[in-house]
Structure 1
């Protein structure tokens, strides 16, 4: 059995050969601190973030695209694999996506966690390559394609040709940093403390980073006043979210410029003709595609199923290992 896993900071997606995307859950685990016992995983555990009593802790075992808590990651992987294939006779081959810039130690941690969770053989593939395959780009041809994959923990930018990465960059600014920026802005402007989940709701609900058309969208936000210490309601507008998100968005745009500057001229002309493809949950931030297109002068499209692209690409890559160059895959 072949399984492709997008082991993301914010969520885990599992692709099973012949079935498509079989699982999509937040990468959160709730543990009992006293006994170390796992109480909940995925969506059930996400609901507990910021709402747990002293003895229960909701952990996100992956931070900025890499494993921050090895034991919890292994437990989470095992749980998700059992959920997808409850009665395993044969141990599956697994392809896991990793950020483009990752150390040997971090790679080894992913491989060991996958083996301990029940993989017969583990392959690692760089996220921009998986994202491009999942978005339907034929990367085996001698044409330049540019992919910007914005996940929860990292943004991977890469120019691909002949099955590999010609030049690229991975920055640890993505969906989580957007949430943190909204939390900081609300604290500074309104003296109100809100949680990460509320910030994420604002990001999905009203955030817009490109000034265009009607900017009057607004949303009520509840939090704790830093002045009185009591619950308080405020209204945040799309214009205010643009101000809040300016810094992380600029870092992503600058990283794209950095990669374009390193791109060989032949591939640059391909990119200006074919455009930039955006994948990952962070690419769904309203106005981000238009902003990048406006700044670079290159057409930008968001992939059809942006959130699932990386997991789909990992699964398809495992089905066609010979299509990818040896640089694209690290095997165990």
Structure 2
């Protein structure tokens, strides 16, 4: 390394269905952009990536495709994902050709070995010299400053765009983990279906996402909020406005929220008694963009009887934890070697 060691960087990537976040050692979160790529259908060249490409979703002319290359937390389009990662890395590390960075990427635990290798292959093709793939919940726990190397149980619930992952971590590893392919995208889809079914109005994903973030809630509130939306009348095909309130949005979200709560309960039921006792005392830590839904931590606490803590900056936790992984693993190598020698 010698001369160029000062240019070397550790990069953490939260390769999300909705957003890709990048952490660079010594700089923190340097990029947070939508996981969208716009490609010219004729030349196959990238026209735009990230926020610029998201603005083109469902609005592009015939020769341009705006693609979300990840679905349910996994790569659906390998070539486009590679182009997207390469673009983001070039943007945040212009000197990467001098010394290739080490990359840690957080992925859902429910992906297959083939899908895992696809992520790794993308990272190497995008310019990494060393790639580590870790589970999102482990990365989120590190990013949320949970002392995972303690001989105690910690539960984390990470709600991303495409998946929700619930894990119990102790002594630096996952004791129990479950993941379902339900996340922020399914929340949006539930709103879209509800508005069409009840009001005969067709709305897009961006409108549904705005509804969710502005007046969405998981528990009843004293103040009922309202918001005007625009869409296409399903019967006449003409544009139409509609005012919708927070009660309706909450009703629309009941099915995916219930699925998340049931998965948390199932994970608690699979947890060894001593670790479960720790969780009752320490609580469940929520991370991921979906955890920001108003009232969701409160509802989860009510349904499980366990305290629920919303992590600081829940959306950033996976990227932060992935970025700190190499340093974190090195700092705790003494603990790891002691545990390994005991178990050998």
TM-score normalized with structure 1 length: 0.96
**How far did 1:212 drift?**
3.2
Structure 1 residue 190 and structure 2 residue 199: aligned? yes
Conserved? CA contact 1:4–1:318, under 8 Å: no
Give 2:133's aligned residue: 124
1:65 to 46, 53, 73: 73
Matches of 1:49 and 1:127 in 2, distance apart?
27
Number of aligned residues: 325
Give 2:250's aligned residue: 242
1:229 to 222, 225, 237: 237
- 1:17-63 Cα offsets, whole Å, 9 max, x none, are 00000111110000111111100000000011111111111100010
Give 1:330's aligned residue: none
Structure 1 residue 24 and structure 2 residue 32: aligned? yes
TM-score normalized with structure 2 length: 0.93
Secondary structure at 2:315's aligned position in 1?
coil
Conserved? CA contact 1:5–1:314, under 8 Å: yes
Q: Which has the larger radius of gyration?
A: 2
Matches of 1:180 and 1:172 in 2, distance apart?
13
- 1:289-325 Cα offsets, whole Å, 9 max, x none, are 1110110111111101101000000111121224376
Structure 1 residue 306 and structure 2 residue 314: aligned? yes
Matches of 1:126 and 1:192 in 2, distance apart?
39
Q: How does 1:136-151 map to 2 (within 5 A)?
A: 136-151=145-160
The CA RMSD over aligned residues, in Å, is: 1.1
Matches of 1:232 and 1:302 in 2, distance apart?
38
Give 2:175's aligned residue: 166
Q: Which runs of 4+ in 1 moved over 6 A?
A: none
> Please, which runs of 5 or more residues in structure 1 have no aligned partner?
327-332
- 1:226-276 Cα offsets, whole Å, 9 max, x none, are 111111011111100111001000000000010000000001110000001
Matches of 1:205 and 1:101 in 2, distance apart?
30
Give 1:276's aligned residue: 284
Matches of 1:238 and 1:98 in 2, distance apart?
33
